[in-house]
Amino acid sequence: MKKQLFSLLCLFITTCSIQAQTLRLPNFFSDNMVIQRNTNVKFWGWGKAGQKVTLVPSWSKDSVHATITGNATWKAELPSPNAGGPFNIEILSQKQKITLKNVLVGEVWLVSGQSNMQWSAEQNLKQMKDILPSIANDKIRLLQISNIASQSEQENVFDSWQVCDSSSAASFSAIGYFFGKKLQNELNIPIGIINSSWGGSSAEYWTPAEVVYADKELTELAELQKVAPRKPYQPGVLWNSMLYPFAGFPIAGALWYQGEDNTISYKGYDKLIHGMVNSWRKSWNLEFPFYFVQIAPFQYKYEIPNAALLREQQSKTALTLNKSGMVVVTDLVDDIKNIHPQKKKEVALRLADIALVKDYGFNKNDYQSPIYKDYKIEGNKIRIRFNHLNGKLKVEGSDITELYIAGQDQKFYPAKGKIEGNELIVSSDQVKKPIAVRFGFSNTAMPNLFNENRLPVAPFRTDDWSF
């Protein structure tokens, strides 16, 4: 009898507890969060059908109201002020209240990709380990999304915002942190960084499955991905669980460092990234900027230069995807046998420079790496022109390295390069009637041609010949 009474009491307490906690938010709406400034910030959650929900921000006398639907969901848009804080946000429904504390208003950026974006001090990155003891900064907040894959779209994550300190930053993306730190220094406002990355993941996993399967070529290329226990292997599974749950939460832009796992399927990479980014923007209902890193030199085990061919696809994306930009890192590699270059801070600063100019009105000439534009044959020479280049080209050393030229026989010979302002003149005594030029077009090339800000020229070829 006592056991039955105890069980009934436990059931009563549990039922009351559940009824008392019907008002809920996804976990990423949490204490210490950063919300995007000067916009309508979407909030959503769950509650008892038919009840009213009221959002009360401490920065305003005005409140926002919503009604919980028959599906027990609600959503509202809260106008955010200019950068500042800390603030509190109260979410009320009948006698229930949730208070989000220590909220800042500023700029929110998403970082995503595979291991070169994911790597942190926990992977023994010296640049991060050296600063961890003094890294604490209340104006930088970090949201680390757990590595979980799903076959269906998820409504929530297990993660909440943390203030940047030696504990929260230890496992956080080094590129994400250094990017956020640069923006926080330059803009002098709060910065929030969401890190949603997974080592060894291909771009298909971050793309909604229907986007991949709607295209025959993308579907066939996705099937080339190898199954491994350390990673998921199906289209859409990381989009479902590591991006979709907070899609619509306003962000300033996204950073991307990925491509190594797509060298096996390089042919469709530009199409895939266009599909991925456009699907993200559609889900956010916002054409946010998308800045990415071209994959680094590495000694892949391919018979043809798959990595060079993927970089070619990335250069195409940089020139054709609206509101995009690309960082080239051919000069930041210390070991071509290590797929994880150690210099993450330099990568982040180059990404930050693009954002500061394009999105925040800073002035800087030639803040992006030059990308091949077109060529003109002039007798026994070929003249090369570049996008993203206003100033002069510069070479470090006496001769330009990794430069080749070919004639009608399609045989490439080492070439000499002469700089004329912002154009490159290429020739060789061995090729009297040249028709094609290649520069840095191999898996491991680390050439020495730069713009005046010491940003490397992106590898390129003028031909489309097979290997």
- pLDDT tens for each residue of 191-224: 999 999 999 999 999 999 999 999 999 999 999 9
Whether 19-104 shares its CATH topology with 105-360 is answered no
Residue 330 has pLDDT above 80, yes or no: yes
CA distances from 29 to 91, 137, 157, 236 (A): 11, 20, 10, 24
Residue 6 has pLDDT above 60, yes or no: no
pLDDT of amino acid 15:
37
pLDDT of amino acid 4:
42
pLDDT of amino acid 21:
61
Q: What is the pLDDT of residues 51-107, one digit of tens each?
A: 999 999 999 999 999 999 999 999 999 999 999 999 999 999 999 999 999 999 999
Confidence of residue 178 (pLDDT cuts 50, 70, 90): very high
The model's pTM: 0.94
DSSP H or E segment with residue 314? helix 306-320
Domain 19-104 listed as CATH 2.60.40.10: yes
pLDDT of amino acid 7:
39
pLDDT of amino acid 351:
98
pLDDT of amino acid 175:
98
Q: Is 392 helix (H, G, I), strand (E, B) or coil?
A: coil
Mean pLDDT along residues 380-400: 97
pLDDT of amino acid 11:
39
Q: What is the pLDDT of residues 316-329, one digit of tens each?
A: 999 999 999 999 99
pLDDT of amino acid 364:
95
Mean pLDDT along residues 419-439: 98
Instruction: Specify the CATH number of the domain 105-360.
Output: 3.40.50.1110
CB 154 within 8 A of CB 245: yes
pLDDT of amino acid 50:
96
In this prediction, what percent of the chain has a pLDDT beyond 90?
Answer: 93
pLDDT of amino acid 356:
98
Confidence of residue 118 (pLDDT cuts 50, 70, 90): very high
In this prediction, what percent of the chain has a pLDDT beyond 70?
Answer: 96
Q: Which amino acid is at 160?
A: S
Domain ranges for the chain? 19-104, 105-360, 371-461
Mean pLDDT along residues 118-144: 97
Confidence of residue 232 (pLDDT cuts 50, 70, 90): confident
Q: Is 137 helix (H, G, I), strand (E, B) or coil?
A: strand
What does 315-359 look like in DSSP terms, one character per residue?
HHHHHHSTTEEEE--TTS-S-TT-SS-S-HHHHHHHHHHHHHHHH
Mean pLDDT along residues 329-341: 96
Upper half-sphere CA count for residue 256 (Cβ side, 13 Å): 27
* Average pLDDT of the chain to the nearest whole number: 95
Confidence of residue 230 (pLDDT cuts 50, 70, 90): confident
- Nearest CA to 44 out of 60, 64, 62, 18 is that of 64
DSSP structural state of residue 92: E
